[in-house]
């Protein structure tokens, strides 16, 4: 679904859609920068470059580099020192939205919630008064 909105970078009006989140002018600038980064990474000596090195050597915006890695335009299997921040804790990851630690923590919280819900249901069926169980 397209919608008229302002470009988050230059404030120009444009039709936003699922493929573009910036105006045509900014999109073209992004593509030029992508070509610069890609040429940099194609050189054998730069294939193991870190995010910081790429940013310093090419002038690319950090968020733009994260976006390309997250969308798979720059593949982490080819460039092992690249990644993007976990949506929850900002630790650098190479796939998904959450790091392993955050995923495990959320799973544990859900298990505890389920256990507490089951316990509350059991206690209310017995007509007992209850409080929250500790971990």
My answer on whether 75 and 125 are in the same domain is: no
The confidence score (pLDDT) of residue 56 equals 97
The confidence score (pLDDT) of residue 131 equals 62
Closest CA to 115 of 132, 98, 127: 132
My answer on whether 31 and 73 are in the same domain is: yes
CA distances from 87 to 58, 72, 97, 112, 128 (A): 26, 17, 6, 22, 41
My answer on whether 44 and 105 are in the same domain is: no
DSSP letters along the chain, please? Answer: --EEEE-TTT--EEEE-SS-SS-HHHHHHHHHHHHHHHHHHHSGGGTT--HHHHHHHH---HHHHHHHHHHTSS-TTTSTT--EE-TTT--EESSSSS-HHHHHHHHHHHHHHHHHHHHHHHHHHTT----PPP-
Position 93 in a domain = no
My answer on whether 76 and 104 are in the same domain is: no
My answer on whether 41 and 66 are in the same domain is: yes
The confidence score (pLDDT) of residue 124 equals 72
Position 40 in a domain = yes
- Tens-binned pLDDT, residue by residue, of the chain (135 aa): 678 999 999 999 999 988 888 999 999 999 999 999 999 999 999 999 999 999 999 999 999 999 999 999 999 899 989 999 999 999 999 999 999 999 999 999 999 988 887 777 777 776 655 566 665
The confidence score (pLDDT) of residue 18 equals 86
The confidence score (pLDDT) of residue 134 equals 63
């Amino acid at each position: 679904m397209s919608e008229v909105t302002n470009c988050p970078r230059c404030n120009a009006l444009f039709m936003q859609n699922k493929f573009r989140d910036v105006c045509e002018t900014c999109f073209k600038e992004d593509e030029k920068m992508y070509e610069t980064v890609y040429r940099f990474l194609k050189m054998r000596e730069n294939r193991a470059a870190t995010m910081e090195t790429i940013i310093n050597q090419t002038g690319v915006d950090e968020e733009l580099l994260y976006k390309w890695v997250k969308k798979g335009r720059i593949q982490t299997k080819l460039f092992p020192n690249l990644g993007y921040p976990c949506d929850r804790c900002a630790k650098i990851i190479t796939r998904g939205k959450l790091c392993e630690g955050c995923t495990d923590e959320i799973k544990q919280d859900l298990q505890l919630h389920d256990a507490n819900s089951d316990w509350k249901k059991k206690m209310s069926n017995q007509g007992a008064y209850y409080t929250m169980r500790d971990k």
